[in-house]
Structure formats: structure tokens, C-alpha cells
Amino acid sequence: MARKEIPGTSLEGIRPTYVYKVVLLGNTSVGKSSLAYRYVKNDFKESLPTVGCSFFTQMINLEVATVKFEIWDTAGQEKYRSVCHLYYRGAHAALLVYDIANKETLSRAKLWLRDLEKEFLPDEIVIALVGNKTDLAAEREVNTEEGEEFARTKGLLFMETSAKTNHQVNDIFMAIAQELLQREQEKASAQSLHGRSTVDLGESGARTGCC
Amino acid sequence: EYEEKTGRAHRPLSPKQNVRKNLDFEPLSTTALILEDRPANLPAKPAEEAQKHRQQYEEMVVQAKKRELKEAQKRKKQLEERCKLEDSIGNAVLTWNNEILPNWETMCCSRKVRELWWQGIPPSVRGKVWSLAIGNELNITHELYDICLARAKEKWRSLSTGGAEVECEDAGFSAADREASLELIKLDISRTFPNLCIFQHGGPYHDTLHSILGAYTCYRPDVGYVQGMSFIAAVLILNLDTADAFIAFSNLLNKPCQMAFFRVDHGLMLTYFAAFEVFFEENLPRLFAHFKKNNLTPDIYLIDWIFTLYSKSLPLDLACRVWDVFCRDGEEFLFRTALGILKLFEDILTKMDFIHIAQFLTKLPEDLPSEEFFTSIAAIQMQSRNKKWAQVKRMLIFDNR
């Protein structure tokens, strides 16, 4: 369950590369595949219904580290739910996506949250609640405040997005990356307080590679 | 003197005419090259130079002629191959129509028919063969289809008018569930083979697809609509009339493998994956080890392939050929196809890590070479230590109990 670390080298010295598994969960046709597609390819097209799971990768170069996202885009239909736990196992972050023009989908996102809470401890996974399709403002059924409030009480990141108009799609993934890195630092400093940093280095050496 | 001679010898036949005479066609690439003397206001070419140019020109012509003959031969060969292929399809249609279909029961399992079957069923008889091979164990009649469709239409009407009609016979399946199913069908139809532009709203087969999927949810409320079904129904619609497509659809989904998957019976699905892995290891040990090392489990790629019977992941013509043999050999061919794909791309896959393999297999290249693909499937042995697919599966099911 440990996050993977590959120490990479740059001109300034060693800048770590972190590989994170990010899983997209939510009702069918709330726009999970479209969000992934927009984020990775910066484009929007009609997606086919996802059966099982599809995969994307994206790399972010930040000052302190390089982040590699492995994005697992899951099937949304309720009936696939029993196979979905295959997909979120070992995830470092999850996006719970709902459609702001369909109130029902927010309730489903809440159920997904319950599933995740059963599987993960709170500090094991970064969860973001994402209200997609802000381009359908005229048909809105869920207020921004409602999503925001729910995310606040549950300690989730929150953002409203539109994969279609490219509204805040990059931002939500960036927020997740920042949060993951911050947790990484907190963990490192907690460990060095306990004088265990050397152990950590030894562990991370297990998957050495260059990028 | 020499000058005079050579000049005279060549003068009666200009090089161009000469070329014309020797060739049954004009080399296109040389028509712009006309050997001429210099214009009158310039000093004439020395004879030696003229001779040299003539020679060079002739060599060029010879080369061009060779090249173009070669190309013409290639084109001729291609044309012959196409004619041969069309002839063989034409012959195959005759064989299917006149010999095999009228004597289906006695002939369908003969070696000759099985071999012809492997070559791919000609599109004009494909639907008939699929129907016969899938069979109608459920004894569905056209009337039953009409009844199911009428019920589905009633439900759509009551949904759209907001009427809360309670039906006791479907007890156990909440109204909300079914409503979601019907909504989902509408949504997915527009997302089924969008490139073909025939199932989308306003397209010629939109209503047909809608009807078949709706009728099925009334026929089998315990299964309902599951994503992936719209692709299967669409492929059947492309090859069969509506009611026959419904009959084939319902019977196809009633087969053990399809039932296990469409009811999302997780335990049984895992058994199928385990059986698949037995043959995977046997056929492609190197790749199998690589997948194991990378924690790449079969569910990652098999779920999409099995649920849609490859119609979403392979080009449609290849998918239909897979369906052809699937109708002949049954479920084991679906898993054999999967191994064929893995074999075809073994070298590339062995060099990839988890996420890239997952990405590759869930989005196969669009220009899959069809002959190599089927050669690769043919090379897969569905025998493991003298045990066939069905035996391996049975053993695994038994072990799980």
C-alpha cells in the first residue's frame, strides 16, 4: 500500500518523483472519462460508455518534485459497483464526481465516499469531491454551497469543473498533487522527528529508476 | 563521317518514336523528356555530346519502363487478388446458401464447414449463421418480442408522464432501479458506435436499438440493462432483422459466461479469469511472468473485452470475424482471442510497465492487421496438460465451492 518513490536526478540534485494512483468514481455519465480526457489530452469529445476501467497517465513537474499520475477511470453503472473495489484498491487519491445538473448523482458520490471510508484510513487517501458540468448552469440542481458544505464536513477537497469548457479541470488535479506532496512532507518530518529518516531512504531505494 | 553515319542512322527514328514503338504504354515519367537539338540561334551540340545525351536518355527510358512494368504487374496482382477474394466470397456465399444452410444440422460440425467458418462468414449470410449457431434455447417467438416491447413502451410512457405505476411481478427490483436502467439505455444508445452515425438520435437504427434493449429489460428484469449490452445488440442489428436480433440477443446473453458477467457475479467472473490464466501461462509463459511481476490481473483488460464481445475494442470487421468463430466454438474462443491479442503484441507488452500495458490493452491500435491477428489466435492452444477449457473451468468452479 506504500506509495512508490523513484528518486530522480536533476541538475540541482535529487528531486523525487512520486507515482500516485488516482481513481475516478461516480455515477454513469457524470463526465469521469471526459474529465480525464480533458486533463490529459486537453480536449473534449463524446466518450463511449466505460466498461470496466480505462487508464490515463499524466506527469506534473513541480519545483519540489515530479508527480506522475496513473489515472484509473472506472465504469459508472451501479451494477459494476461490485467489481469497482478491484479498481480503487491501493489508490492514493480519489475524485468523487457528480453532475451539478443531476441531484441524484451527488447522493451516489456520498455512497462512494462511504465505500472508500470502509477501505481506507483518512490519512491513506486524498479525496476530492468534484461537481462537473458547470457549463449546464441553466439546468443546475445542486448549489455550489451544498457541495462545498458537504466536502467541508467530510474533509474533502472541493471544486466545480467543466470538462467541456475546461473550467478548473487542471486546478483540481493540481490541488490533489499539492495535497499529496504536503502529506508526503508531513510524513517525512514526522519520521525525522522520530529519527527514522534513514529507514525511509532505504525503503525508497527499492524502486530506483531514472526519468 | 562518323558523325554523319550515326546522325543518319538515328534520324529516321527519333528516340521518342523509337520508344513508342517498343512500348505498349507510354512511360508516364518520361513524357516530359523530349530530346531535341538546341534552338537554332545557339551553336549546335557537338556530336559526341548529342550521342551521350541520347544514350543517357535511352537508359532513363529503360529504367522507367522497368519500374512502370513492375508497378503495373503489382497492380495487376493486387487486382487479381481482389478478384480472387471476391470470387472466394462469392463462392463461399453459394456454398453457405446452397449446401450448408439447408443441411445445417448434419453439416455444421463437419471439418469442411468448420474450416470455411474460420475464414469468416460472408456478410450476406452472417446473420443467418449466427442465428442458427446461437440457437433459441429460450424458445422466444416474434410474438413474445412484441409483448415485451409493448410492455417496455408502456413503461416509457408512464415514466414520461410521471405516472407511478407499481408492478408486483417485478418485486425485488425497485422502481428507481428500473427507471435508471431505462434512462441509461437512452443515454448509451447515443454513445454506441457513434462513428457509424446510425444508432444516434434520428439515425435509422436508433429506435431498433432502443426497442431491443427496452424489451430485454422487460423480458429479464432480473438482469436488466448493463453497460456493454448496447454494443452487442447493435452488432446483431447490423446483421439481423429486429425480432431475430432480439432472439439472438436474449439467447446469447443466456449463455453461462455472458450470464456470469452481465449479472456481475464476481465470484464466477474470478473463476473465468483463473481459467484464462491457466491457458495464459501455458501459451505465453514469458508474458505471463511479466504480467504477474507487474500485478497486472486479467480483469484489467478482460472485463471490457468479454462484456462487449470485442465489439468496442476491435475494428468492427475484425470483431465480426471474432463473433463468427465465437458462435462456432463458444465462450472459450473469447478467451482464445484474448490470448491471441496478447501473443500478437507480446514483444511490445514485455517492455511495458503496469500502467502502459493497461493503457495499451484497453485501447488497442486501430490498424490491427487482420491476417496476423487471426494467425496469432490460431497459434493459441486451448489445451492445458491434456485438459480442455471446459474441464479446467469445471475444476476451478469445483475448487471454489
Average pLDDT of the segment spanning A203-211: 36
- Give the model's pLDDT for residue A5: 53
- Give the model's pLDDT for residue B155: 87
- Give the model's pLDDT for residue B168: 39
Helix (H, G, I), strand (E, B) or coil at A66: strand
Average pLDDT of the segment spanning A71-100: 91
Question: Closest to B228 (Cβ–Cβ): which among A46, A51, A54?
Answer: A51
Terminal-residue alpha carbon distance, chain A: 23
- Give the model's pLDDT for residue B27: 53
Give the CATH number for residue B370. 1.10.472.80
At A190, the pLDDT band (50, 70, 90 cuts) reads confident
Distance from B113 to chain A by nearest Cα, in Å?
A: 35
**Same domain? B155 vs B221:** yes
Name beta bridge partners: A69. A20, A58
pLDDT digits (tens, 9 = 90+) for A111-160: 999 999 999 998 899 999 999 999 999 999 999 999 999 999 999 999 99
Query: What does the mean pLDDT of chain A come to?
Result: 86
Cell 418485486 belongs to residue: B171
| B251, B283, B301 - which closes a domain | B251
Q: What's the structural domain count of chain A?
A: 1
In a domain, B125, yes or no: no
**Same domain? B325 vs B196:** no
- Give the model's pLDDT for residue B183: 81
Residues from chain B that touch A51, judged by Cβ atoms under 8 A, are 227-228, 303-304, 307-308, 312
What are the helix and strand counts (H, E) for chain A? Answer: 6, 7
| B251, B276, B293 - which closes a domain | B251
| B251, B266, B290 - which closes a domain | B251
Give the CATH number for residue A157. 3.40.50.300
- Give the model's pLDDT for residue B169: 42
Distance CA(A161)–CA(A180), nearest Å, equals: 20
Distance from A111 to chain B by nearest Cα, in Å?
A: 16
Distance CA(A29)–CA(B185), nearest Å, equals: 12
- Give the model's pLDDT for residue B33: 54
- Give the model's pLDDT for residue B162: 62
Q: What is the dihedral of CA B326, B330, B332, B338, to 10 degrees?
A: 20
Query: In terms of residue numbers, what domain contains A150?
Result: 17-184
Sequence-distant (≥ 6) Cβ neighbours of residue A6 within 8 angstroms: A16, A17, A19, A207, A208, A209, A211
Low-confidence ranges of chain B (pLDDT < 50): 1-23, 31, 164-172
Residue A13 reports pLDDT greater than 90:
no
| pTM score | 0.81
Across the interface, do A48 and B227 touch by the CB < 8 Å criterion?
A: no
Residue ranges of E strands in chain A: 4-10, 13-26, 53-61, 66-74, 93-99, 126-132, 157-160
Residue A22 reports pLDDT greater than 70:
yes
* Interchain contact A58–B (C-beta under 8 A): no
In a domain, A205, yes or no: no
Query: In terms of residue numbers, what domain contains B372?
Result: 258-400
